[in-house]
Amino acid sequence: MEENNKSEHRTYDFIIVGSGAGGGPLAANLVEEGFSVLILEAGTDHSCDYYNIPIMQGRASEDAEMRWDFFVRHYASDTVQAKDSKFMKSNDGVLYPRGATLGGSTATNAMVNVYPHNSDWDHLARLTGNEDWNAEAMRHRYIRIENWQGPDVDRQKPAAPHDGSRHGFEGWLKVSRANPELAGREPRFLDIINAMEEISREKYQTPADTALPNDPNDWRFVSSGGEGMSFVPVAVGDGTRNGARERILSALQKYPDRLTIRYGSLVKKVIFEGNRAYGVEYLSGKHLYSADPKASEALPEPKIFQAFASKEVIIAAGAFNTPQILKLSGIGPREELESHGINVVVDSPGVGENLQDRYEVGLVYQLKEEYSLFKEATLDVPEKGQPGDPLFREWSNTKGGPYSTNGSLAAFITKSSIAEEDPDLFILALPISFKGYYPGYSGESAELHDRLTFVILKAHTKNKSGFVQLRSADPRERPAINFRYFEEGNDTEGKDMQGVVEGIEIAREIADRLGTMIKTELIPGKDADSRAALSEFVHNEAWGHHASCTCKIGADHDPMAVLDGDFRVRGTEGLRVVDASVFAKIPGFFIVSAVYMISERASDVLIRKYRSPQ
């Protein structure tokens, strides 16, 4: 295989591995500053209706051209793990889909764009001793990113530049909420939304003249630790998904001489001279990674290429693949590397450790009647040459209607009894059946039009015990991933479990207001009528989809800190990490906005360094 080695014979200022929320905007920012950048993307650019149409987000996550299928464990015990109805023995895990296309997981996610908590940034400022991480500095970066599209909650006082909302209006990321008028097309949607509003007003004594739902990205709501019913901000503009992909392609169109994208490029390792990174070695070909659903079609012996960076190499491959690449490059726990015959460049025991996620569960209800709005809906694209269902035609003609949304109706943000500084529960109402991820989940959800799911998301989780470990030194093989849930993790007091159970109780309180429209609770079911029974349900069925923290930023004295406060890989020169791996603690409710924000900060750090007189 080594005889296929070939150099590109070109040196770039920067090489960025990965094109998701961390790497994509970073590449665009550097290119706009005049630097030459090479993006190495293992997937392709696969724009299609599943990508473009917001309601198709579940289908996008199962599109074979855009996804990698990881199968992760939640427990070491086979007996305990097998109790999860989503567990696949043949794959020894639960499906954990990741985007593998231009834009990374921003191309396949549900587009939810909820702002992190200020404490997330202030914690990093304290940890690093650098006030450039604080909440105020990071809000300025968010304003640079956001292009708020409205419509606003209070039409009498719409958000505007320089007002107290501190929204951004000139950024590259279009953020919006579903048009409130859409709910009026389905009486049951209105009933669900009204029930959530009633409970919100009662619980928080919200005056009748105060508009609801709340805007969770409004600076005033964020700064006050706001709670209550909220709309769900999404990365949708003009009825279409947008994200890192559009940011990259815009930069490519403006500066084709500065930005190079190599698709089908699976990084094998970072190349070092001593401890200085100066390039990468990568395999070239489609479907090379074993998580690719078309991996069987890949070349058995792809060509190996090298590319070189005069300034820095940035790894932005995500919380699973970034630690894998670092370990394959000789950066990681010495014992693990040596067990796979990998030469140790830096003995860094924290690489692949500290894996964190939310805990999520779905309460699924069957309604007495189907949603009238969806009676003819397939929630799918039509066969070639066919007109599609009425809602698809509406989206095609106007970029409006229900298909211009991600399907979420409303959210309820609140604190559990074990919350510390910030709200830790995000309860999302969806007009589908959703119990988590398993092969075929999106198709099954689309077939049932008499379902309502409340997804309970527990943020600020205590568990930091998950890991990503190499199975071999083969860059094509998926690593072993175990989140080590609940008692297998470090939350010895059971606070995470308590928080999730309290979230279920709140969701049931909302459902109780809908008695005339609900036929029965399917999951977990009415027999789960005690906290012990609910705890068992959560223990068996919880999932997550915001993997993070596997190459954490930390203080100089912390031996488990992989990175310093400016994203540099400790023990090396010319190598940084910019993706969800970098957090010491998982931030906020939904991670993508936080990753976009760290990408902006990394851009500032690099531009300042290489634009300043040397």
Cα–Cα dist 70/292, whole Å: 9
Residue stretches of the annotated binding site: 109-112, 267
Cα–Cα dist 152/156, whole Å: 9
Output DSSP code: residue 153.
Answer: S
User: Which candidate, 590, 171, 145, places its Cα nearest to that of 358?
Assistant: 590
Helix (H, G, I), strand (E, B) or coil at 540: helix
Q: Are strands 6-17 and 303-315 parallel, antiparallel or unpaired?
A: parallel
Helix (H, G, I), strand (E, B) or coil at 530: coil
Q: Are strands 146-148 and 173-175 parallel, antiparallel or unpaired?
A: parallel
φ, ψ (nearest 5 deg) of residue 71: -120, 120
- How is residue 423 written in tokens? 């709200």
Q: Which amino acid is at 305?
A: F
How far CA 341 is from CA of 205, 275, 344, 479, in Å, comes to 63, 19, 9, 16
First to last CA, the chain: 41
- Is the separation of the CB atoms in 66 and 99 below 8 Å? yes
Helix (H, G, I), strand (E, B) or coil at 269: strand
The tally of CA atoms less than 13 A away on the side-chain side of residue 455 is 24
Element (H, E) at 13: strand 6-17
Own/partner contacts of 373-379, CB < 8 Å, gap of 24 or more, are: 373/185, 373/186, 373/189, 373/402, 374/186, 374/402, 374/431, 374/449, 375/449, 377/402, 377/449, 378/446, 379/55, 379/56, 379/59, 379/445, 379/446
Cα–Cα dist 333/331, whole Å: 7
| The total number of residues written for the chain in this structure | 614
Residue stretches of the annotated binding site for FAD: 109-112, 267
User: Which candidate, 7, 9, 57, 14, places its Cα nearest to that of 35?
Assistant: 14
- How is residue 101 written in tokens? 């296309």
Cα–Cα dist 394/387, whole Å: 11
Q: Which residues pair with 71 in a beta bridge?
A: 95
User: Which candidate, 12, 16, 33, places its Cα nearest to that of 608?
Assistant: 33
- Is the separation of the CB atoms in 382 and 389 below 8 Å? yes
φ, ψ (nearest 5 deg) of residue 31: -60, -40
> Which residue's structure tokens are 């008028």?
181
> Which residue's structure tokens are 């988590």?
436
Cα–Cα dist 394/600, whole Å: 36
Torsion of CA 489, 493, 495, 501, to 10 degrees: 90
**CB atoms near residue 147 (< 10 Å):** 17
